[in-house]
């Protein structure tokens, strides 16, 4: 296990706003299976759809090839942009799925982005504490806000309905949870 202090100048995405560490595990970049919420440092390779990220301050910042960003692995479905997921294995190239800092691999994209494609990244390493434990946005949230416990005998049904916002067409989205 090799823990090093991060000396790169990077842009912290809003999804990582609660990360206070300056330690990185580069040794895991090619061997650790990423999970939803794992936080990494990425180098921007090429600019596609996402030309900027939302910083931890809430401001937007342009990104350029060669820039470093702190972001988190996540799944995302946006009917008029990208559908993407956290990969099962290390990849040479990752994609920005959302301006807030969600990273994964694009599975499908809206046809208007066929010529542009996603912004591509390389993983430099995973953020960790000084003992080498990886940071994950889900564990940080649990520490800060506590864990949500549901009483299985008193289940509710939640229906979430939304639609795309394009002027000419509406794409309904439904989520039913029981």
Q: Please tell me the distance from the alpha carbon of residue 118 to that of residue 128, in angstroms, as a whole number.
A: 27
What pLDDT shows up at residue 32?
93
End-to-end distance of the chain based on CA atoms, in angstroms?
A: 42
Q: Is 120 exposed, middle or buried (0-12, 13-18, 19+ CB in 10 A)?
A: buried
pTM for the model stands at 0.81
Task: Pick the more confident residue, 139 or 51.
Answer: 51
Q: What is the pLDDT of residues 91-113, one digit of tens each?
A: 999 999 999 999 999 998 888 88
Q: Please tell me the distance from the alpha carbon of residue 113 to that of residue 66, in angstroms, as a whole number.
A: 22
Q: What is the pLDDT of residues 36-93, one digit of tens each?
A: 999 999 999 999 999 999 999 999 999 999 999 999 999 998 878 888 999 999 999 9
Q: Mean pLDDT, to the nearest integer, of 127-133?
A: 92
Backbone angles phi, psi at 141, to 5 degrees: -65, -40
Task: Pick the more confident residue, 156 or 58.
Answer: 58
pLDDT at 20 over 90: no
What pLDDT shows up at residue 59?
95
């Amino acid at each position: 296990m090799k823990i090093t202090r991060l000396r790169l100048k990077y842009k912290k995405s809003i999804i990582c706003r609660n990360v206070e560490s300056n330690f990185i595990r580069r040794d895991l970049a090619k061997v650790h299976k990423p999970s939803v919420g794992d936080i990494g440092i990425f180098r921007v390779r090429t600019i596609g759809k996402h030309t900027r990220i939302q910083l931890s301050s809430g401001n937007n910042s342009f990104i350029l090839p060669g820039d470093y960003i702190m972001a988190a692995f996540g799944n995302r479905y946006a009917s008029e942009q990208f559908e993407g997921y956290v990969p099962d294995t290390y990849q040479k190239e990752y994609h920005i799925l959302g301006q807030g800092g969600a990273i994964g691999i694009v599975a499908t994209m809206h046809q208007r982005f066929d010529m542009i494609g996603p912004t591509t990244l390389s993983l430099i390493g995973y953020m960790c504490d000084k003992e080498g434990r990886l940071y994950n946005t889900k564990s940080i949230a649990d520490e800060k806000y506590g864990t949500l416990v549901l009483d299985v005998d008193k289940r509710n049904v939640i229906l979430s309905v939304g639609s795309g916002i394009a002027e000419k067409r509406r794409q309904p989205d439904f989520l039913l949870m029981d």
